[in-house]
Amino acid sequence: MRKDILVAIVFGVALLAAAVANMTPKPLGVDAPAGVFSAGRAMVDDRVIAKVPHPVGSPANYAVRNYLVGRMTQLGLAPQVQRVDAFQERPGKEPLVIGGVVENLIGVLPGKDRKAPALALMAHYDSVPGSPGAADDAAGVSAALEVMRVLKAEGTPARDVVLLLTDGEEAGLLGATGFFQSHPLAKQLGFVINMESRGGGGRANMFETAPANGAVIDLFRKASTAPASSSLIVYLYKQLPNDTDFTVPRKAGIAGLNYAFIARQFDYHSPVSTPENLNQGSLQHLGDEVLATAREAAFAPALPGKAPDKVYANTLGNHLLTYPTLAGWGLLALTLAVMALGVWRARQADAFAWPDVAKGVGAALYLLLTSATLFMLARRVTGAGFGFYDQAKLLANVHLWEVALLGVGIGALLYAAAAVGRGRMRLAAAGLALLAGVLCTAFSGWNLIGLGIGGAGAVVALLAFGRPAGVAGTWTGILGLAFLAALVLQVVAPTAAFLIAWPLAFAALAGAVSAMGTWRPVAVPIVVALLAALALQWVLSFAHGVFIGIDLVEIQALFVWLSALLLWPLIHADPEETRPRTVALIVLAVGFAFVGLVRVIPPWSARHPQPAIITYVVQGATGQSKRFSLAPNAPDWARGVLKADGGHIVKDDPPIGLRTAPGDTLSAWAKPVNPLPPAVALNRLIDGSLEVKITPPAGARALAIDLRPTGKLTDATVNGRPAKILTEPGQWTRIYWQGAAQGVAIGFRAKGPGVIDTRYATTTEAWPADAKPLPKMPPKISGNSISGSTIVTGEQRFTW
């Protein structure tokens, strides 16, 4: 069989297997047996919770609270409402305080031993403004309710099972912070299972644990029926700046598991995150997995303690392979021995040249550098910017975008194999790498990183792609470089080393079987292809997960390189072959043709509408008003709204209290209106301390206030609780507060006379009654976040 046909079959089988591995289960209906999790039953709750957007402190959130209290009462959990002021401090050049008034819902399923460390099921019931939150996190809440129903039906657990439905997660983990700081039950918890979402579909990944997770992973492996997890995901998540409610108990030293599904990311924090658009298969998988681990933790004689971290990942089907990190050294040693066997067999066949090993290393480096540059170029050719709303264009056309990247990656892989095998392609290969780097700048402005990586790829090409090189030596060089990389990872990040070590082991075995690609028996290519397909579907599954999780497509170069380990003897070109180079260029061209389609095809539809954020901003003291567009690439509808009062559109800085990048913000003069401003005052208290108090007007849900003292202040408080702020003269402290009709009081002490500057804003999620009404929004446009809101700003200086 021709090698190109075999390669096509391997890719086809691997892609199909990877797609099947990422499928969600069929959702069970409301008539499913009582002892199993049913997405149909959970959806009854989801449809109520996610009827409308319900951010913390809103009337809609109070309605959700009341509904959930009723549901928890039906389950016999004797719910209580914990109302608490909670805030988090984030130090920095400008210290930040994020807080609000939250109402956590807490219910308990009593266990046999009421004093034993308890299990908690946790999810948050608030949404972001502008999104019904059917996935984030109505899915987690509805799943938790259904899991609690099943656990209760199974009898009395060994320990208490706490249902903790937090409030204010989207505002800054406020509910979890308030619970774990002040509720008595927090000290009794020994294990927490949290449910989250960052999309509207996909399998529920277990993506985070507490440190020293060895015993926890043993529980997870034993209980899980269809796991989707790996120690690499947990390792990577630790490196990212993301937080969920699970962050709070994890920092408190409580063990647990954190689950989320992340596909269909267009729906994340979007108006289209509705029950109708939620993938019920994802909800079924989330519920199945959480029920399995919760059942094991609830009825086990003891909860898992701390033990050394383990390496673990899915293999085939629903199997999860786990082993101690020390076993990674054994795997590498065995792999090295098998590689040595392959080299020995190739030398016995007189098909091995040591100089070719260096060319193989060069080919691997070229592939990594050039494919990264090509991916970087593809991202910039799309015309989509970088940022939460900028990438909506790609997320609306996500399948076409992924196919485009697949084509670019396969093209780069085939080209590198052709270049080193045929030889005499130094200039062409160098030109491709350098051209990709230059075009990165042409499509997105000066791009030193693209030029640098592309230039490095060009240098490697000039050094490596001279005379033709044989398959055995080059494959040895590629595997040798991978072995060194796996060795480094085994030292610095042993729980992540398997990402390279496992494909490397398969490739080494294929090398030994085939005498490093020199074949001989007719059946050997088939065996190599089978080994490649088995491991390649695993690599492609990881590549897909990274693709949907991180908008940094250059990382895909890693998976192109891992694919080369497995496919090398099937794609390596012989010196006299011209077809491989032609095929590679055609595939690369097709990949970029798809990138071009992503750029030019309008992605917007009623299912994937273009985001728009329109606000009315009023300077409270003067009544001067502007209409603002806070989302990038404002659609024509938004621009029409900006100009509705005759103003001209200009770039502007975002209003206080918003974290929008200045370059994304447009504004235009608007007719003056007179909404009620907040009340801001400096008060002297009976103990001699001072207090700046800001009280929002009726209907305002969120406020922001910045404070800058001219002198050093001491004993600062926020709503009576100590805070490490206002200590540096001339330094701004920023405070964001949500769900607080009574406002925020910032207390402090001063040794003598002084001055404090304030600037502030309140947000009411309604258009001004005396402004020209918003025109009807077209179906292909959605009002995201606080679109349609009124923001009242002001500044004031206080002296004493």
Adjacent-strand bridge partners of 626? 617, 669
Which residues touch 392 (CB under 8 Å, ≥6 apart)? 266, 608, 610, 611
Residues of the chain with CATH 2.60.40: 609-800
Q: For the chain, how far is it from start to end, CA to CA, in angstroms?
A: 89
Cα separation, 377 vs 379, whole angstroms? 5
Where residue 659 falls among pLDDT bands split at 50, 70, 90?
low
Q: Using the predicted structure, report yes or no on whether residue 627 has a pLDDT greater than 90.
A: yes
Q: Coil, helix or strand for 737?
A: strand
Adjacent-strand bridge partners of 113? 159
Q: Using the predicted structure, report yes or no on whether residue 764 has a pLDDT greater than 60.
A: yes
Residue 799: CB atoms within 10 A of its CB come to 9
Amino acid 77 reads L
Q: Using the predicted structure, report yes or no on whether residue 742 has a pLDDT greater than 80.
A: yes
Asked if residue 191 lies in contact with residue 256, where contact means CB atoms within 8 angstroms, the answer is: yes
Residue with tokens 């095998």: 421
**Residue 270: its pLDDT value, please?**
97
Where residue 623 falls among pLDDT bands split at 50, 70, 90?
confident
* Mean of pLDDT over the chain: 95
What count of residues does the chain have?
Answer: 800
Q: Using the predicted structure, report yes or no on whether residue 662 has a pLDDT greater than 70.
A: no
Q: Using the predicted structure, report yes or no on whether residue 660 has a pLDDT greater than 70.
A: no
pLDDT digits 0-9 by tens, 207-246: 999 999 999 999 999 999 999 999 999 998 988 888 999 9
Amino acid 615 reads T
Query: DSSP of 37-93, one letter per residue?
Result: --HHHHHHHHHHHTSS---TTSHHHHHHHHHHHHHHHHTT---EEEEEEEEEEE-SS
Asked if residue 666 lies in contact with residue 650, where contact means CB atoms within 8 angstroms, the answer is: yes
**Residue 661: its pLDDT value, please?**
54
Kind and range of the H or E element at 400? helix 398-422
pLDDT digits 0-9 by tens, 167-183: 999 999 999 999 999 99
Q: Using the predicted structure, report yes or no on whether residue 600 has a pLDDT greater than 60.
A: yes
**Residue 499: its pLDDT value, please?**
98
Cα separation, 228 vs 260, whole angstroms? 10
Amino acid 701 reads R
Query: For residues 604, 605, 607 and 613, what is the CA-based torsion angle, rounded to 10 degrees?
Result: 60
Average pLDDT value for residue range 740-750: 91
Cα separation, 171 vs 197, whole angstroms? 16
Where residue 423 falls among pLDDT bands split at 50, 70, 90?
confident
pLDDT digits 0-9 by tens, 129-155: 999 999 999 999 999 999 999 999 999
Q: Coil, helix or strand for 293?
A: helix
pLDDT digits 0-9 by tens, 663-695: 579 999 999 998 889 999 999 999 999 999 999
Asked if residue 58 lies in contact with residue 133, where contact means CB atoms within 8 angstroms, the answer is: no
Where residue 657 falls among pLDDT bands split at 50, 70, 90?
confident
Domain 32-204+242-324 fold = Aminopeptidase (3.40.630)
pLDDT higher for 674 or 69?
A: 69
Q: Write down the CATH number for the domain with range 609-800.
A: 2.60.40
Burial 64-95 (b: 16+ CB within 10 A, else e): bbeebbebbeebebebeebebbbbbbeeeeeb
Radius of gyration over every alpha carbon of the chain, rounded to an integer in angstroms: 29
Residues of the chain with CATH 3.40.630.10: 32-204+242-324
Asked if residue 323 lies in contact with residue 317, where contact means CB atoms within 8 angstroms, the answer is: no
Cα separation, 482 vs 495, whole angstroms? 17
pLDDT digits 0-9 by tens, 716-729: 999 999 999 999 99
Asked if residue 610 lies in contact with residue 391, where contact means CB atoms within 8 angstroms, the answer is: no
Residue with tokens 């095809």: 601
Cα separation, 638 vs 613, whole angstroms? 8
Bond before 4 cis per omega within 30 degrees? no
Kind and range of the H or E element at 616? strand 614-619
Cα separation, 352 vs 515, whole angstroms? 10
**Residue 667: its pLDDT value, please?**
95
Cα separation, 62 vs 126, whole angstroms? 10
Cα separation, 219 vs 39, whole angstroms? 24
What tokens appear for 113 in the block? 């031993």
Cα separation, 364 vs 457, whole angstroms? 10
The Cα-based distances of 350 to 343, 344, 346, 522, 571 in angstroms read 10, 10, 6, 19, 21
- What is the pairing mode between strands 755-764 and 789-799? antiparallel
Asked if residue 347 lies in contact with residue 465, where contact means CB atoms within 8 angstroms, the answer is: no
Burial (CB count <10 Å: 0-12, 13-18, 19+), residue 689: middle
Q: Using the predicted structure, report yes or no on whether residue 424 has a pLDDT greater than 90.
A: no
pLDDT digits 0-9 by tens, 12-56: 999 999 999 999 999 999 999 999 999 999 999 999 999 999 999
Asked if residue 164 lies in contact with residue 120, where contact means CB atoms within 8 angstroms, the answer is: yes
Name the nearest CA neighbour of 733 among 763, 753, 760: 760
**Residue 1: its pLDDT value, please?**
56
Residue with tokens 């989207």: 170
The Cα-based distances of 370 to 310, 403, 482, 560, 590 in angstroms read 34, 19, 17, 11, 17
Strands (DSSP E) contained in 269-385 are 310-314, 320-324
- DSSP H helical segments within 162-279, as ranges? 174-182, 214-223, 231-239, 247-251
Amino acid 167 reads D
Name the nearest CA neighbour of 756 among 787, 797, 727: 797
Cα separation, 496 vs 235, whole angstroms? 7
**Residue 305: its pLDDT value, please?**
94
Q: Using the predicted structure, report yes or no on whether residue 57 has a pLDDT greater than 70.
A: yes
Asked if residue 787 lies in contact with residue 765, where contact means CB atoms within 8 angstroms, the answer is: no
**Residue 525: its pLDDT value, please?**
87
Where residue 189 falls among pLDDT bands split at 50, 70, 90?
very high
Asked if residue 598 lies in contact with residue 398, where contact means CB atoms within 8 angstroms, the answer is: no
Burial 762-791 (b: 16+ CB within 10 A, else e): bbbbebbeebeebeebeebbbbbbbbbbbb
- What is the pairing mode between strands 96-109 and 733-738? parallel
Kind and range of the H or E element at 748? strand 744-749
Which residues touch 346 (CB under 8 Å, ≥6 apart)? 352, 472, 476, 515, 516, 517, 518
φ, ψ for residue 378 (rounded to 5)? -60, -40
Asked if residue 261 lies in contact with residue 134, where contact means CB atoms within 8 angstroms, the answer is: no
Asked if residue 374 lies in contact with residue 410, where contact means CB atoms within 8 angstroms, the answer is: no
The Cα-based distances of 772 to 621, 643, 654, 665, 735 in angstroms read 21, 11, 22, 21, 32
Dihedral sign of CA atoms 743, 744, 749, 755 in order: negative
Q: Using the predicted structure, report yes or no on whether residue 601 has a pLDDT greater than 80.
A: yes
The Cα-based distances of 62 to 65, 167, 576, 739, 743 in angstroms read 5, 10, 74, 11, 18
- DSSP H helical segments within 75-173, as ranges? 138-153
Average pLDDT value for residue range 556-560: 98
φ, ψ for residue 684 (rounded to 5)? -100, 125
What tokens appear for 209 in the block? 């644990």
Q: % helix / strand / coil in the chain, to the nearest 5?
A: 45, 20, 35
Prediction pTM value: 0.94
What tokens appear for 387 in the block? 């940022």
Name the nearest CA neighbour of 767 among 680, 621, 644: 644
Cα separation, 782 vs 780, whole angstroms? 7
